[in-house]
Amino acid sequence: MKLQDLNIVVIGAGVGGLAAGALLARKGAIVTVLEAQDYPGGCAATFSRNGYRFDAGATIGCGFHAGAPMEILGKELGITWPIVQEPVAWQYRYGKLHLDLHPNRLNILERFPRSAPFWAEQKALAKQLWHLSEGGLSWPVMGARDLARLARKSIAGLSGTLHLLPLARKTASEWLASYGLDTDADFVRFIDAQLLISVQTTSKHANAINAAIALDLPVVGAYHVNGGIGTVSRLLASSIEENGGAVLYRKQVIRIDSVRRQVFGLETSDGSAIAADYVLANLTPDSLDLFIESEGEPAVEKKESSLWSAFTLYLGMEPALFSALPSSHVQIIGSSGELAEGNSIFVSVSSADEPEGAPAGLCAVTVSTHTRPEPWFEAKKRGDAAYRELKRTYTERVLDVLSEQFPDARNAIRSITAATPVTWERYTGRVQGCVGGYPQISLFKVRGPLTRFDNLFFVGDSIFPGQSLTGVVTGARRTIELLLQRNTKRGQQQL
């Protein structure tokens, strides 16, 4: 079928689903996005509550620098992103160690002078990786065409590619060890803290190549998105509508009908039935399995080990507390030195340049920490009291860590709302509230967009290259590429 005749339904208005939908609508396809909530963005949404505007999960705009996925996407869709680069991506704090993550890394090099050769190699690797990802990444490789494309790009930057190969099977920790940095506890903790929020695991398990590009974020630039990070999704949704598509809210898909390897329609909780030539699932594999007619067979083979969820606090605060910060973001590791589970937090403060983000004289603050989902669901099963107690414990732990660096923090709080993995499950539709994508431990065991259905594809951070705006937009291009290839093949078979 010609692209212009294709009915493409996207389940979910996360950034991945919307980016894929917007690119397909721009190419002429008939795109309908079905979103369970009444606003777009999912993990990268911005919501309003009691006069505050909070970023739900993601707070840092990434991939907007020249030649990066968000910049290219904007150009292609005719969107001018309302962004401002943060002078300092964020500040890292552990006890008295305060590091500004500035694009020039001077601060880090001063504190860890022995790390200079490591950063020089990281820079070279990241440059090559950004080059490889330009225009999309044919990974995981699905056939001769992908191999040829990858080979073309690799040969164009041959010396860089040869540089990448030895690290492809190494962990970040092995990479650090090759510079004698693995025994510097402060440096490893600093690196681990960056890796946990980007590749969802620490140096012991993270793949070195994934780590190399993740560590590049403060250098290429962290961006503030005016109106909150949810502006990105709102602009993508508008682009779909301008190109003749539809983004329908409060449309929760509850069933996907299929015959053998073909999906042919979807049902939503309000009783609507929608036909589709192709379906893009902006979901995790577990969530998709909840409503697919699959006779017990999962839509894809499950590959994950442990996935993270998040515990988040949305605080209305007095802004004076943060006035000395060089950035809107600060990452704090508590005195125990442990990461995750409330011991390390990422704090984002709304911009004073956008007074509409909070009631007069106050600011909106999102604080997040990684947490494993299982204890939360066990507590919920034990009853409301157990669940509330766990929520109270985490709230206090997070506020303790915040207070270690900002002793007046508790006094500056004017309102407080907490979201647990249970909240995240309800809000994003992700089973167990598993937000953040998969831990990037191997380049060779990653999931691509294909499912066991010929016309159903994944999009979003469950597929390579994983989480972040950059990640899901790069993944969306791969989804589209495979969908179009499949459509051409189908057309040839029908001739």
Q: What residues numbered 51-80 form the site for ligand FAD, per CB under 6 A?
A: 57-60, 62
Q: Which one of the spans 34-42, 72-80, 107-115, 200-208 is the region binding ligand FAD (CB under 6 A)?
A: 34-42
Contact string (CB under 6 A) for ligand FAD, positions 271-310, x = contact: -----------xx---x----------------------x
Residue 256: CB minimum distance to ligand FAD, A: 9
Strand 278-281 and strand 456-458: the pairing is parallel
Contact string (CB under 6 A) for ligand FAD, positions 351-390, x = contact: -----------------x----------------------
Q: Does 468 interact with ligand FAD (rule: CB under 6 A)?
A: yes
From 6, 9, 11, 209, residue interacting with ligand FAD (rule: CB under 6 A): 11
Would you list the DSSP string of 112-142?
-GGGHHHHHHHHHHHHHHHHHHTT----S--
Phi-psi group of 227: left, alpha or beta (phi > 0 → left; psi -120 to 50 → alpha; rest → beta): left
Q: Are 458 and 478 in contact (CB under 8 A)?
A: no
* Partner residues linked to 69 by β-bridges: none
Number of residues this chain uses to bind ligand FAD (CB under 6 A):
38
Looking at 139-220, list the stretches that DSSP marks H as alpha helix, in order from N- to C-terminal side: 144-156, 158-164, 172-177, 185-198, 208-214, 217-220
Q: Which one of the spans 8-16, 133-141, 144-152, 317-325 is the region binding ligand FAD (CB under 6 A)?
A: 8-16
Q: What residues numbered 421-440 form the site for ligand FAD, per CB under 6 A?
A: 428-429, 435-437
Q: Does 203 interact with ligand FAD (rule: CB under 6 A)?
A: no
Residue 154: CB minimum distance to ligand FAD, A: 27
Q: Distance between alpha carbon 393 and the CA centroid of its chain, in Å?
A: 27
Dihedral of CA 38/308/292/450: which sign?
Answer: positive
Question: Which pair of tokens denotes residue 185?
Answer: 């506890």
Residue 10: CB minimum distance to ligand FAD, A: 9
Phi-psi group of 422: left, alpha or beta (phi > 0 → left; psi -120 to 50 → alpha; rest → beta): alpha
Q: Does 16 interact with ligand FAD (rule: CB under 6 A)?
A: yes
328 vs 405 by CB, closer to ligand FAD: 328
> What crossing angle do the helices spanning 374-382 and 384-405 adopt, rounded to 10°?
140
Interface with ligand FAD by CB under 6 A: which residues? 11-17, 34-37, 42-44, 57-60, 62, 252-253, 282-283, 287, 310, 312, 368, 428-429, 435-437, 460-461, 467-469, 472
